[in-house]
Structure 1
Amino acid sequence: MNAVEIEEAISALAEQPFDPDEFPYAFLEAFGRKSTEIKRLRSGHSNKSDLDGVLQRNHIHIKTCALGTVKETLDALRDSAATAKGKAKFILATDGQTLEAEDLSSDVPPIVCDYPEFPDHFGFFLPLAGISTVKQIRESAFDIKATGRLNRLYVELLKDNPEWGTSERRHDMNHFMARLIFCFFAEDTDIFSKADLFTSTIETMSAPDSSNTHEVIGELFKAMNTKPEDRAGAGRARWASVFPYVNGGLFSGSTDVPRFSRISRSYLLHIGNLDWKKINPDIFGSMIQAVADDEERGALGMHYTSVPNILKVLNPLFLDDLREKLEEAGDNTRKLLNLRNRMARIRVFDPACGSGNFLVIAYKEMRAIEAELNQRRGEGDRRSEIPLTNFRGIELRDFPAEIARLALIIAEYQCDVRHRGQKEALAEFLPLDAKNWITCGNALRLDWLSICPPTGTGVKMHSEDLFSTPLDQAEIDFENEGGETYVCGNPPFKGARKQSAEQKSDLAFIFQGGNDYKDCDYVAGWYLKGAAFLTVTKGALAFVSTSSVCEGEQVQHIWSRVFDSGSKIIFAHRPFAWRNNASNIAMVTCVIVGLGADTARVLGVFDDETLKHCHSVSPYLIPGEPIFVTAQKAPVSANLNQIVSGSMPRDGGNLLLGNTEKQELEAKAPGASKFLRRYSGTSELTNGTIRWCLWIEDGDLGAAKAIPEVAERIRAVEAFRLQSKAKTTNGYARIPHKFAQRSHKNGNAIIVSATSSQNREYLPADWINDQVIVSNAAYVVYGGELSQFACLVSRLHLAWVATVCGRMKTDYRYSKTLGWNTFPIPPLTEKNKADLNRCAEDILLAREAHFPATIADLYDPAKMPADLRAAHDRNDEVLERIYIGRRFRNDTERLEKLFDLYIRMTTGKGKKAG
């Protein structure tokens, strides 16, 4: 269940008569607990409550109670031995009139409310539904509720007006929804002359059978687009004359309204009865855009960027600087005036703005700074000098673009009320400004300078200089022109292999030649275009993007071009988890990269919430020189042997056998055992899957063919290779008894997984003998020493691989040329090698002690055996002391040392940036 569905289920429960016996089970069902779980609780099989309540282990302890005893009951639940033993995260008590609840796993304030109001706190309990909550969703019950109700109305209207869902009329439908949202907000915030004016007028003037609802709404829209002095001549209805003139383009154009059924009319009135003063444009805009997006509607209420994540971009980009200047100014009126004048000229530009949450947050934060500034100057009621039109965006889809503009309008009104008062806010709110400063279009094709020029003169660069085509719309000059422009946002996360043909074409257009763009994420286009934009604009930019843009081969493709344009990285957030609030949506590992001109001051690198100041930032997002790690044909470290891909069968499966097939073959032909070897790739290594292969040397071919079952498999391989359309595969038909590509060597070896979950703290690898054939789905080091195995399974090596090799989705992706061959190891003494050998042996012995547990089992971070973890800790300490004489404090420090060593070891091989 998503948050909207949960809110609706909880609201329905609150509206039903209170049943003390059924409430606990109905409550859990509303949060999506499985029917089998509820059945077990009802039967008492899994209910271990010691207070005659309902206790679901690891989740919640609920008890209904007599009137007036809620507090005492909650105290009893908190002190209950069963609550502790069952590891309940929540406790809840209610008597049907009052409800109290606590989150025992955090310091979130408890809930105390009237029973009918508990749905307003549904976000408090979202972990029961497996949804990772953030503060914003806990506090946005209204936004979730409004989104759900609007979605039901939207779906119902499309059911009765299918033509409004077509591409020809989808814009009209979306525009209609934006108008409704404004009216609901306006009637609850005194923008209209009377509370509930819009909703009550529809209820009064439209027939209960809904036959004229569309006409009534259409008349209201026409009135709000007609000046009062013109209404009589325009034939506007008298009952609509009480509505103000809104203008602003919101009610201009077509005033068609879809037809309503009884059900959709009822939905409309119900939505109007919500308290729209509670709307939060930071979050609401992102959620409401899902209403109009068929693909996103299934995760309704989940898609928004949290305010803390937005501030990770905006604070270091420019907000922290404004706050510092405010602090420095103190009560000096001249300095405060200079800061206010500066802020009035600042432009914020999001060229992938969606529903505008970056712009809204930037606006609200700047208004808060301005309000404090005005208070210090004794001008607390002064009108804001921060123009709304200085917050500009580009969005590909029209509905989010419209919602972005509406969200900014709402944010402006709310800021005026908060900082200046309701009276002043109302006096200046209507009519709306007709300018449209949110552009609908393809940001990688539009001319950013025509939308956000450095001055108000409409200066443009030539298209070939800014990878752009001119914007065919009237330009809007900035108020108080000539200030800084800060570019920010969260451009689309589209990997190189998931882009549409049109998106690939966009990137080719931006890269202007070559094939590098084919391996780059879609967001690369924003970085490159943004860097070019900064060449003619005073300011800086920062984007959120997947961490892959700072990993692997993309680093040189993207950042060499960025640096060549004259920009440099001025701050960065190292990779962090960017989770959607829905538990079934994959986590994305993201970075934030801030760019400025090469004369800009460098702030540093954020690792979690810790900022490390530095003079320069590497494209791998660590303090240090801008350098690109390039693929190496051989290890740069003398202590490492060559690594190769495993052997490739290209056999149609005929040389490979599962464990059962192997046993059946040996039962029929015992002599076949001589030709069977263990076969291992990434899956076999990590999951312990047992597979085998036929490994036949040329000198043994006659003996192998003498076994009918083996001879048949050899013939099948030959047939498979001859039927292939690949000429190379056809050629291998001459040696059907052998793997197509053989890298195997006798002796001990190290097998390395080609991929690994990012949750693992160490890379999957093992020490094997020559009876194991490594497949081409893994890498292998032949003739390697145990000391090399110790290096490979270290925290140091994982940090290096995670940074320079890139990822497959969120998994680490190993590379022999970028991971192993570039890994810098200082010269090792014989004692160093002996110490590392012992560490490797301890790791292998610790694994052996837990046989038959697999690597996947052993390296699950939550289940890693203590002796194995201790062995790895010793290995990490021994290796890290070889580098710096002590343990590294964190991965950032590890990488700084590794990159410094890499530069020194590859002088003349590596390539410095710039």
Structure 2
Amino acid sequence: MRLSWNEVRARAAKFAREHADDKDERSQSQRFWIDFFDIFGLDSRRVTTFEKRVQQLDATKRGFIDLYWPGTLIIEHKSAGRDLLSATKQALDYFDWLSEKERPRYVLVCDFQRFQLTDLADGREWKFHLSDLPRHVEAFAFILGAQPRFFRNQSKASIAASELMGKLHEALAESGYTGQDLERLLVRLLFCLFADDTGIFEPKDLLINLIEQHTSADGRDLGRVLNDLFDVLNTPEEQRQSTLDPELTAFPYINGGLFEGRIRTPSFNNAMRDMLLDACAFDWGEVSPAIFGSLFQSVMDAKARRAKGAHYTTEQSILKVIEPLFLDDLRAELDRVLARKDGGRQVALKAYHDKLASLTFFDPACGCGNFLVIAYRELRELERKLLKETLAGTLISGSGVSAAAFSRVNVDQFFGIEYEEFPARIAETAMWMADHLANLLLSADLGELFARIPLTKSAKIVQGDALDTDWAEVLSPERCSYVLGNPPFIGAKFQSEYQRAQVRRVAGLGGSGGTLDYVAAWFIRAAAFVQRGGGKGRIGFVSTNSITQGEQVAQLWPILFGRHAMEIAFAHRTFAWSSEARGMAHVHVVIIGLAARGHEPADKRLFAYADLKGEPSESRHRAISPYLFDAGGLANPHVVVAEAGRPINGARQLVCGSKPIDGGHLIFSSGERATLVSAEPQAASFLRPFVGAEEFINGGQRYILALQNAAPQELRAMPKVRERLERVREFRAASPSKPTKALAATPMLYHLNVLPERPFLAIPQVSSERRQYIPIGWIEPPTIPSDKLRILADASLWEFGVLTSAMHMAWTSFIGGRLKSDFQYGIGINYNNFPWPKADEVQMRRVEGLAQTVLDERAKHTLASLADLYDPDTMPPALRAAHAKLDAAVDRLYRPTTFPSDRARAEHLLGLYEASLGALPLNALKTKTRRKRATETV
């Protein structure tokens, strides 16, 4: 019987512990790999061979593959610390020496501690350490006979086409042809290029022949000819002048509004004409209409993208939304209908066709229409498969029946809202292109050319601000089947005043309106829209992962779960955004699918990523938490972690370090400190080391003037110091912030004064997600911590041991906030709400002893920074082993059985948090940590 992934992860954790000290290839490798395959319940001797002999075809070289699974896997093993690059080269040599039939798909190199797995079929690669094996074990799904699920991506041809048009757009813009005219010109050219290669223009190559043969080589008359062409395309054949040039009369009437209105005549030169001819020479029949979102992205500058929160989606990512939202269900339903053998099969086929024709799709942030285009393409493909079965493969050519009579799915089932005209028009045009491509495929099946030219129907794309537009005016909520898309990603701190006001209005949180990202407003509007339509519609949005982490969870999700009665129907956990367009935005995203309570599926689908740039594995659950893991074990699957004003379990108070708000005038480099002390030696006693997260993790030296207790006569004796104070005063007085202005009267005080007199534990506010552990440790006076550190005074080894454990890291990873993808440690979420374990004296002493071992291992590397020690590629094995033992001891304080993954740890902790809520005083979750101006001694 095949093992579950939870069982596999548990076995992997046990394997990692048992083989943590293995080093020697000769004496330990075979037992290592026998036990490795046993993780998956597979006897390696049944499928693999140790020391498989191979040789080159010319027999000049021979060697032995350490472990070989014919057609599946080569393993090349080395002793601990050996070069894996040479091991990879050796394994690939052996691959070349094998026959075509024997060659495997996967190559794995390992030195006991490091694993490097390569999928030769698609080039994907996984690199991780032995201790991380439980987190990456799904990379070996092929051992269980499974493969990760793949989503199609756009072709390289589409990317190249986008680049061609992007260059032409830039050239025209640089020459001064800009604005709406340029945008409309580009959209019209896109359609014409596509039409020239896909049968809309007949015969083929009408456009390229017009440009090559009827415009001058220097391009001076090209703009005029294009405008004449656009006029012709907008005029029915019977209304055209009889004296029209014959090279123009051949073009068909398009209609649909695409060529309405004359644009300013563009002026081309030879280079621009060549660019357009290059674009004409390209085969646009191979280009997906969905690529035009990437085209728009390529001609927007980075600053404009950030202001609009614009991130254009690949086909691969779109499919991750639409497949679980509706496509998988529609495909499965069609398969069931086609499998029927009874007399009701034809009735069922007709009912299914009626359903396809009745579905409506609404993207309230549609951009260039990528989501609508791909959804339409897939819907037409389902209809095509249905019609092939319905017509039983018979041709209708010559029957007198038009193919148009059979196709009932059309672009007018699709709706959108877009802020700007250019992408809105691209969206309409791309939908027509998608329609034409689908018609060509159906034409091949039915034996009759099927083209909807002139255009009579179009997608309804409304230009406007989606948060200010009544969605019901675009599409009745009762008619809406699916709301989908990729709303803009603008963080709370980067929104304009108008955007913040929009979010406050939509969320209705009162007060300051919370700290919601802009995308949250689309979730709330969509939930209200579906609820208004009776709850039958479904929602699927791409979002920044911020709405599933940190303080935003407690602000957004009670609105969706409570006010609008939504449930999570499916979700993709965090993955890296993929786009091959120029200037793509690098972000980490999630995908959330929502359904109204009472209309949600019984099984909720969750897609998780062992590799953020890889493919997901899918699991099914009774309920999904807003933190995007299994909520089936919770009494209330809607439980969220609200920011707490103090520790909920009686732990010692954690505070922020000092926050000077000084414009940098109180802070000194080593050189600047030396200069000041040389001029004013008495300043030396007031200059104290100043350490933030950067210095704490990576090393480096800064100093800060600590003048809180300086006597007036001492300040009068230091004119250069007083100059600094005056600059601080001026900086604060010029601030638009009222609290900062108030600080101008006391420039010798910080905004937040934390001046430790005893050693204290420091936790960096931000730390790289690459690290398995946030580096924390003790700092001693006279060092002053900055507000980029969290400070725990009088901390014990017990507290250090728990806070640096895998349990606390799991809580931080899954519940705490993120800055981009890095860990962002917040006091109110990460620390104050963390469920501390219960331990007796013996258990506490054991944790303290193991915590000291971690510190001892660090101390052996006096020249290494914490960044060096906790980089996953350079972490000393002994330090890693010390952490692993500490992790196991802390884990056992929570439950006796092993946790198979960090996600399992987080799920367990959330259950403990939920159980603790009933015992909390009312103000524990309402009062945020108070920031004090007065000097604090810690």
CA distance in 1, matches of 2:152, 2:91: 18
Amino acid at match of 1:262: N
8 Å contact from structure 2 (residues 442, 450) kept in 1: no
Amino acid at match of 2:424: A
SS of the aligned residue for 2:381 comes to helix
CA distance in 1, matches of 2:165, 2:121: 30
Deviations 1:813-841 (A, max 9, x none): 22222211110123122222122212211
CA distance in 2, matches of 1:146, 1:297: 22
> Is residue 753 from structure 1 mapped to residue 764 from structure 2 by the alignment?
yes
Match of 2:538 in 1: 540
SS of the aligned residue for 1:879 comes to helix
CA distance in 2, matches of 1:82, 1:766: 33
CA distance in 2, matches of 1:303, 1:349: 18
Match of 1:636 in 2: 648
> Is residue 497 from structure 1 mapped to residue 493 from structure 2 by the alignment?
yes
CA distance in 2, matches of 1:437, 1:601: 28
> Is residue 889 from structure 1 mapped to residue 890 from structure 2 by the alignment?
no
Q: Which runs of 5+ in 1 are unaligned?
A: 1-80, 92-101, 111-133, 456-481
**Pairwise mapping of residues 79-158 of structure 1 onto structure 2 (< 5 A)?**
106-108=119-121, 140-158=155-173
Classify 1:107/1:722 alpha carbon distance in 2 versus 1 (closer, same or farther; 3 Å): closer
> Is residue 574 from structure 1 mapped to residue 585 from structure 2 by the alignment?
no
Deviations 1:516-560 (A, max 9, x none): 546221111211110111113321101111111222222233222
SS of the aligned residue for 2:166 comes to helix
Q: 2:192 aligns with which of 166, 183, 193?
A: 183
Classify 1:198/1:136 alpha carbon distance in 2 versus 1 (closer, same or farther; 3 Å): farther
8 Å contact from structure 1 (residues 629, 910) kept in 2: no
Residue 491 of structure 1: CA displacement? 0.8
**Pairwise mapping of residues 148-227 of structure 1 onto structure 2 (< 5 A)?**
148-160=163-175, 162=176, 164-165=177-178, 170-227=179-236
8 Å contact from structure 2 (residues 629, 903) kept in 1: yes
**Pairwise mapping of residues 405-484 of structure 1 onto structure 2 (< 5 A)?**
405-421=428-444, 426-454=449-477, 482=479
Match of 1:615 in 2: 622
Residue 740 of structure 1: CA displacement? 7.1
**Pairwise mapping of residues 388-787 of structure 1 onto structure 2 (< 5 A)?**
388-421=411-444, 426-454=449-477, 482=479, 485-512=481-508, 514-517=510-513, 519-537=515-533, 538-563=536-561, 564-581=563-580, 587-602=586-601, 603-608=604-609, 609-624=616-631, 625-638=637-650, 640-648=651-659, 658-659=669-670, 678-692=689-703, 725=733, 729=743, 732=746, 742-744=753-755, 746-770=757-781, 772-787=783-798
Classify 1:910/1:429 alpha carbon distance in 2 versus 1 (closer, same or farther; 3 Å): farther
CA distance in 1, matches of 2:526, 2:187: 30
CA distance in 2, matches of 1:718, 1:269: 65
8 Å contact from structure 2 (residues 543, 590) kept in 1: yes
Higher relative contact order (CA 8 A, sep 6+): 2
Amino acid at match of 2:317: N
Classify 1:558/1:575 alpha carbon distance in 2 versus 1 (closer, same or farther; 3 Å): same
CA distance in 1, matches of 2:817, 2:201: 55
Match of 1:377 in 2: 390
CA distance in 1, matches of 2:608, 2:207: 50
CA distance in 2, matches of 1:412, 1:439: 19
8 Å contact from structure 1 (residues 371, 419) kept in 2: yes
Residue 753 of structure 1: CA displacement? 0.9
Residue 665 of structure 1: CA displacement? 8.4
Deviations 1:334-355 (A, max 9, x none): 3333222212211111111111
Classify 1:691/1:428 alpha carbon distance in 2 versus 1 (closer, same or farther; 3 Å): closer
CA distance in 2, matches of 1:777, 1:892: 27
Classify 1:440/1:674 alpha carbon distance in 2 versus 1 (closer, same or farther; 3 Å): closer
Classify 1:191/1:426 alpha carbon distance in 2 versus 1 (closer, same or farther; 3 Å): farther
Classify 1:665/1:819 alpha carbon distance in 2 versus 1 (closer, same or farther; 3 Å): same
Classify 1:695/1:498 alpha carbon distance in 2 versus 1 (closer, same or farther; 3 Å): closer
8 Å contact from structure 1 (residues 767, 789) kept in 2: no
CA distance in 2, matches of 1:211, 1:719: 63
8 Å contact from structure 1 (residues 540, 594) kept in 2: yes
> Between the two proteins, what is the percent identity of the paired residues?
32
Residue 664 of structure 1: CA displacement? 7.8
Amino acid at match of 2:470: D
8 Å contact from structure 2 (residues 305, 311) kept in 1: no
CA distance in 2, matches of 1:182, 1:888: 56
8 Å contact from structure 2 (residues 436, 451) kept in 1: no
CA distance in 1, matches of 2:675, 2:172: 64
Q: Which runs of 5+ in 2 are unaligned?
A: 1-82, 94-104, 108-117, 124-148, 396-402, 610-615, 632-636, 734-739, 926-938
Deviations 1:677-731 (A, max 9, x none): 6543322211222345677997xx78x988x999668766776777654576466
Residue 910 of structure 1: CA displacement? 8.9
Classify 1:329/1:779 alpha carbon distance in 2 versus 1 (closer, same or farther; 3 Å): same
SS of the aligned residue for 2:211 comes to helix
Classify 1:791/1:215 alpha carbon distance in 2 versus 1 (closer, same or farther; 3 Å): same
Classify 1:267/1:408 alpha carbon distance in 2 versus 1 (closer, same or farther; 3 Å): same
8 Å contact from structure 1 (residues 517, 557) kept in 2: no
8 Å contact from structure 1 (residues 153, 264) kept in 2: yes
8 Å contact from structure 1 (residues 488, 542) kept in 2: yes
Deviations 1:758-787 (A, max 9, x none): 222221311234554433331111122112
Q: 1:288 aligns with which of 292, 295, 299?
A: 295
> Is residue 844 from structure 1 mapped to residue 840 from structure 2 by the alignment?
no
Residue 857 of structure 1: CA displacement? 2.0
Match of 1:59 in 2: none
Deviations 1:463-505 (A, max 9, x none): xxxxxxxxxxxxxxxxxxx5x5111111111111212333234
SS of the aligned residue for 1:544 comes to strand
**Pairwise mapping of residues 846-885 of structure 1 onto structure 2 (< 5 A)?**
846-885=857-896
Q: 1:806 aligns with which of 812, 817, 820?
A: 817
**RMSD, matched Cα:** 4.0
Match of 1:339 in 2: 352
8 Å contact from structure 2 (residues 217, 270) kept in 1: yes
Residue 650 of structure 1: CA displacement? 6.5
8 Å contact from structure 2 (residues 151, 316) kept in 1: no
Classify 1:796/1:138 alpha carbon distance in 2 versus 1 (closer, same or farther; 3 Å): same
Residue 658 of structure 1: CA displacement? 4.6
8 Å contact from structure 1 (residues 174, 292) kept in 2: no
Match of 1:367 in 2: 380
CA distance in 1, matches of 2:424, 2:501: 23
CA distance in 2, matches of 1:622, 1:432: 47
Amino acid at match of 1:421: A
Classify 1:888/1:308 alpha carbon distance in 2 versus 1 (closer, same or farther; 3 Å): farther
Moved more, 290-299 or 812-821: 290-299
Classify 1:385/1:107 alpha carbon distance in 2 versus 1 (closer, same or farther; 3 Å): farther
Amino acid at match of 2:525: K
Q: State the TM-score, normalized to the length of structure 1.
A: 0.74
Amino acid at match of 2:785: V
Classify 1:211/1:857 alpha carbon distance in 2 versus 1 (closer, same or farther; 3 Å): same
CA distance in 2, matches of 1:154, 1:672: 60
Q: 1:823 aligns with which of 831, 834, 845?
A: 834
Classify 1:289/1:731 alpha carbon distance in 2 versus 1 (closer, same or farther; 3 Å): closer
Residue 259 of structure 1: CA displacement? 3.1
8 Å contact from structure 1 (residues 329, 335) kept in 2: yes
SS of the aligned residue for 2:911 comes to helix
> Is residue 318 from structure 1 mapped to residue 326 from structure 2 by the alignment?
yes
8 Å contact from structure 1 (residues 763, 792) kept in 2: no
Residue 583 of structure 1: CA displacement? 10
